[in-house]
Structure 1
Amino acid sequence: MGVLERITARRSELNVPAEELAKRLQEVQAEREELLVAERVLNRLAEQDRAAAEAAVVASPAPARVVGRAVLLIPHRGEGLDEAALPGDYRKILAIVRAADGPVQVRAVGEELGRRCAGSWNRCGRR
């Protein structure tokens, strides 16, 4: 067998793995492109989650301390919240106001709650 024949035979042998490698390279490139798209989607979702979390922090009420107790100064309002989401004191106040025939004075609500009030919520204390 001459040198030229050996070269031709070897080239023929290498054609099969070259075709397999070319096919595998195309598959790898396609998978890399899919992963790139998935990465972009996840980054966008993470950005949206961060933005929603930041908005929730900004919109959430600030807790305060009254007589050593942690309280919300104003009940937080949000979509889909019902009375069950309110603290117990707020639910009691709503029940008292609903049960009244008309306008309710702070003093009357305070008395119903067992507190002594001097005209405003700021001056309500426990009995």
Structure 2
Amino acid sequence: MTAPEPTAPNNQNEPPQLDPELRKRANAALLKYGGARILLFIVLTVVIQGVATLIGAPVPLVMSALLALLVAFPLSMLVFKKLRLEATRSVGAWSAQRRARKDWVKQELAGR
């Protein structure tokens, strides 16, 4: 007596599941990276203002902030590389899940 052949599961009718934990991780990673970048920007603005005050050349706060913004962007990509890669990976995985779910919905609607 032979065992019955396993049948392939009918995945066409079941939607791909979205992992809510993955969404939380993606949001947390984005918040960490965004917060670190904002903190770097604020620290650079304060440092520029402090240096300008120490050398006796007052600089308007807006100018210090603009200079800090120009410096913080490339610096944050180098300094916070690990946070940036973590955020990119988690958002990419979450996006892939959402895309698979959307494709499934389109296929279901097209079949009706």
User: Is the helix fraction higher in 1 or 2?
Assistant: 2
Q: Decide which structure has greater strand share.
A: 1
TM-score, normalised by the number of residues in structure 2: 0.30
| Highest RCO, 1 vs 2 (Cα 8 Å, sep ≥ 6) | 2
Bigger Rg, structure 1 or 2: 1
